[in-house]
């Protein structure tokens, strides 16, 4: 337990009074207007009593130790599920950012947890390191991304949480835990994918690799052929993934490998950047029955393309079109069948959707709650719907298909599972629940969504 000095206690009390979190209800000051919070897609909105952005870990620990109200940590707000909303206070780590230390011989680096993934690539390159893998975009914070087991693609690559070697967790009572595989292994396995339910993560050390360059080749081919060949491609290339084009017979394939070739990655023109939005808008005007034949005809004319750059610039993309997403990870051997059933269902039910699916492989890991935790590698399959269109009718048809194939939902993407089903999908679910109860007996970090997930009355 941290020692709270009288001076610090007084300072914290002032903070508590200022931020109105000394009572369980986290009362707002009279006349104070709460600023609404919304996630990236605009589908999740909250009215927190206020926001607290600590300038140091000490300030955060003192704040937690001297207040009692409801709290939720927020990263970049890129989750589609209501993990963040609270009527209490949001904890924002936008002052706790940047590279803190590194070890060149072990290729590890410690970042403050509020650092955006987009602010890690260049500093890592300067010290000769690079992330082993990255997700599709890099706007997330490191703590936000690891807290939901954010992943990229690659049969040999774990989600980001699988590469955390050490993290600092400050519990709701202000206790500071420096967690590693050897110091407090149970808590470490839980906190690497903690959903912001165990406390506030303030620093994370990642296992990296030596800086490397990647070449990415993109082409379009028949989905059935690509799926037949997927395992061979996935084991041949460092990264391999598909974007199946709905209502058509085709998918876009992306194969990515290490290279020494010179950089060749011209910046996109504004027209190209706007291109995806325009294509989406254009396709939405085409009746669903006509889209398939049109895509099929166009697909055959698309030339393969290549680009080469630093790994972190190739692995991540800019996504300007706002959408909502559901993603489940199914055991690898079920991947192709699950994807095909989803594609057939969209076609048969003439679901009016234009957004491609995404099909990726993720390696197993030893965290408690990552979607690929345990003994099996997984295939991650995503469906998307452009925001602000109502995603529910579409996702409600697709979600039972994921369940049929033993899918585990991405914590940051839309799903409807509660504690009963989740406890059957995760062998260490009970262990996580008991660690959560131990670290946050008052349930300060819980909101309605987390109560449902962990089966806590409230
Ligand atoms: C356009 C887009 C593309 C995406 N691509 C991918 C992808 O390729 N692969 C993938 O797996 N996911 C992807 N995602 C999902 C995204 O990576 C996750 O939802 C991620 O958790 C978002 O990170 P964030 O920083 O925005 O965190 P938030 O969404 O703000 O928070 C996520 C969780 O982290 C917790 N949290 C945040 N900070 C802390 C902290 N300091 N301490 C403790 N808990 C904390 C929050 O309480 C919450 O539970 C994508 C999302 C979008 C919008």
Residue 384 lies in a domain: yes
In this structure, the residue with its CA closest to atom 50 of ligand 1 is 78
Q: Quick one: 28 and 123 in the same domain?
A: no
Ligand 1 nearest-atom number relative to CA 380: 11
Q: Is 74 in the pocket of ligand 1 (CB under 6 A)?
A: yes
Q: How remote is the CA of residue 4 from the centroid of ligand 1, in Å?
A: 32
Is pTM beyond 0.85? Reply is yes
Q: Is 367 in the pocket of ligand 1 (CB under 6 A)?
A: no
Q: Quick one: 344 and 257 in the same domain?
A: yes
Q: Quick one: 381 and 306 in the same domain?
A: yes
Residue 430 lies in a domain: no
Q: Is 201 in the pocket of ligand 1 (CB under 6 A)?
A: yes
Q: Quick one: 145 and 275 in the same domain?
A: no
Q: Is 116 in the pocket of ligand 1 (CB under 6 A)?
A: no
pLDDT at residue 279, rounded to an integer: 65
Q: Is 76 in the pocket of ligand 1 (CB under 6 A)?
A: yes
* Residue ending a domain, choose from 181, 211, 241: 211
**Can you tell me the distance from the alpha carbon of 242 to that of 223, in angstroms, rounded to the nearest whole number?**
9
Q: 38: part of which helix (H) or strand (E)?
A: strand 37-38
- 98 φ/ψ angles, rounded to the nearest 5 degrees: 105, 165
Ligand 1 nearest-atom number relative to CA 96: 41
In this structure, the residue with its CA closest to atom 33 of ligand 1 is 144
Question: Residue 221: helix, strand or coil by DSSP?
Answer: strand
Residue 218 lies in a domain: yes
Q: Quick one: 261 and 403 in the same domain?
A: yes
- To test the pocket of ligand 1, the residue of 51, 56, 60, 75 to mutate (highest count of ligand atoms within 8 Å of its CB) is 75
pLDDT at residue 277, rounded to an integer: 61
Q: How many domains does the chain have?
A: 3
Give DSSP secondary structure letters for 166-192: EEEEE-TT--EEEEETTTSHHHHHHHT
Q: Is 450 in the pocket of ligand 1 (CB under 6 A)?
A: no
Q: Quick one: 32 and 123 in the same domain?
A: no
Residue 455 lies in a domain: no
Domain span including residue 65: 6-92
- To test the pocket of ligand 1, the residue of 60, 91, 144, 192 to mutate (highest count of ligand atoms within 8 Å of its CB) is 144
Q: How remote is the CA of residue 23 from the centroid of ligand 1, in Å?
A: 29
Q: Is 137 in the pocket of ligand 1 (CB under 6 A)?
A: yes
* Residue ending a domain, choose from 45, 66, 92: 92
Q: Quick one: 311 and 376 in the same domain?
A: yes
Residue 432 lies in a domain: no
In this structure, the residue with its CA closest to atom 51 of ligand 1 is 78
pLDDT at residue 275, rounded to an integer: 55
Q: Is 75 in the pocket of ligand 1 (CB under 6 A)?
A: yes
* Residue ending a domain, choose from 189, 211, 233: 211
Task: Read off the CATH number of the domain in which 201 is found.
Answer: 3.30.465.10
**153, 361 contact by CB (below 8 A):** yes
Q: Is 79 in the pocket of ligand 1 (CB under 6 A)?
A: yes
Q: Quick one: 198 and 226 in the same domain?
A: no
Task: Read off the CATH number of the domain in which 84 is found.
Answer: 3.30.43.10
Which is it for the CA torsion 196, 199, 203, 204, positive or negative?
A: negative
Q: Quick one: 123 and 18 in the same domain?
A: no
Q: Is 141 in the pocket of ligand 1 (CB under 6 A)?
A: yes
Q: Is 362 in the pocket of ligand 1 (CB under 6 A)?
A: no
Per-residue pLDDT of the chain (458 residues; tens, 9 = 90+): 344 344 443 344 444 444 444 333 333 444 455 789 999 999 999 999 999 999 999 999 999 999 999 999 999 999 999 999 999 999 999 999 999 999 999 999 999 999 999 999 999 999 999 999 999 999 999 999 999 999 999 999 999 999 999 999 999 999 999 999 999 999 999 999 999 999 999 999 999 999 999 999 999 999 999 999 999 999 999 999 999 999 999 999 999 999 999 999 987 766 666 555 656 666 777 777 788 888 888 877 888 999 999 999 999 998 888 999 999 999 999 999 999 999 999 999 999 998 999 999 999 999 999 999 999 999 999 999 999 999 999 999 999 999 999 999 999 999 999 999 999 999 999 999 999 999 999 999 999 999 999 999 98
Q: Quick one: 65 and 110 in the same domain?
A: no
Q: How remote is the CA of residue 76 from the centroid of ligand 1, in Å?
A: 7
Task: Read off the CATH number of the domain in which 258 is found.
Answer: 3.40.462.10
Residue 421 lies in a domain: no
Integer angstrom CA distances of residue 421 from 315, 403, 425, 455: 33, 10, 7, 10
Neighbours of 340 (CB within 10 A): 14
In this structure, the residue with its CA closest to atom 36 of ligand 1 is 144
Q: Is 214 in the pocket of ligand 1 (CB under 6 A)?
A: no
Q: Quick one: 306 and 348 in the same domain?
A: yes
**324, 382 contact by CB (below 8 A):** no
Q: How remote is the CA of residue 212 from the centroid of ligand 1, in Å?
A: 25
* Residue 327 CA, distance from chain mean position: 11
**Can you tell me the distance from the alpha carbon of 101 to that of 205, in angstroms, rounded to the nearest whole number?**
9
Q: Quick one: 202 and 263 in the same domain?
A: no
Query: 149: which residues sit within 8 A by CB, 6+ positions away?
Result: 159, 160, 161, 193, 367, 369, 370, 371, 372, 410, 411
Residue 434 lies in a domain: no
**177, 168 contact by CB (below 8 A):** yes
Residue 207's nearest CA partner among 318, 349, 106 is 106
Residue 420 lies in a domain: no
């Amino acid at each position: 337990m941290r020692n709270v000095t009288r001076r610090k206690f007084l300072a914290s009390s002032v903070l508590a009074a200022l931020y109105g979190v000394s009572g369980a209800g986290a009362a707002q000051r009279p006349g104070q207007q709460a600023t609404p919070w919304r996630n990236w897609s605009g589908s999740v909105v909250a009215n927190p009593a206020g926001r607290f952005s600590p300038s140091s870990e000490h300030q955060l620990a003192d704040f937690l130790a001297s207040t009692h109200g409801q709290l939720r940590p927020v990263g970049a707000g890129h989750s589609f599920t209501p993990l963040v909303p609270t009527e209490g206070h949001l904890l924002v780590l936008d002052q706790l950012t940047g590279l803190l230390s590194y070890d060149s011989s072990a290729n590890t680096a410690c970042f403050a947890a509020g650092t955006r993934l987009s602010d890690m690539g260049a500093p890592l390159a300067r010290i000769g390191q690079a992330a082993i893998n990255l997700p599709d975009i890099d706007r997330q914070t490191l703590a936000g991304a690891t807290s939901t087991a954010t992943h990229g693609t690659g049969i040999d690559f774990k989600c980001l949480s699988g590469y955390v070697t050490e993290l600092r967790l400050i519990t709701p009572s202000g206790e500071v835990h420096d967690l590693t595989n050897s110091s407090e292994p149970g808590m470490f396995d839980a906190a690497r994918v903690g959903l912001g339910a165990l406390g506030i993560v303030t620093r994370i050390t990642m296992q990296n690799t030596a800086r490397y360059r990647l070449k990415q080749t993109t082409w379009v081919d028949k989905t059935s052929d690509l799926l037949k060949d997927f395992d061979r491609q996935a084991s041949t290339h460092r990264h391999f993934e598909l974007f199946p084009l709905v209502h058509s017979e085709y998918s876009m394939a992306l194969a990515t490998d290490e290279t020494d070739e010179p950089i060749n990655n011209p910046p996109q023109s504004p027209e190209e950047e706007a291109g995806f939005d325009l294509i989406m808008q254009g396709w939405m005007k085409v009746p669903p029955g006509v889209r398939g034949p049109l895509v099929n005809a166009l697909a055959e004319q698309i030339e393969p393309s290549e680009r080469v750059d630093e790994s972190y610039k190739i692995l991540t993309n800019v996504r300007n079109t706002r959408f909502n997403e559901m993603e489940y990870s199914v055991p690898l051997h079920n991947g192709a069948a699950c994807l095909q059933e989803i594609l057939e269902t969209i076609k048969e039910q003439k679901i009016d959707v234009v957004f491609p699916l995404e099909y990726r492989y993720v390696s197993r890991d030893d965290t408690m709650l990552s979607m690929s935790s345990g003994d099996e590698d997984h295939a991650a399959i995503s469906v998307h719907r452009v925001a602000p269109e109502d995603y529910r009718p579409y996702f409600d048809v697709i979600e039972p298909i994921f369940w049929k194939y033993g899918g585990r939902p991405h914590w940051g993407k839309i799903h409807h599972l509660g504690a009963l089903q989740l406890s059957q999908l995760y062998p260490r679910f009970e262990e996580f629940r008991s660690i959560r109860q131990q670290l946050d007996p008052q349930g300060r970090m819980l909101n309605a969504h987390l109560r449902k997930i962990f089966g806590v009355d409230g």
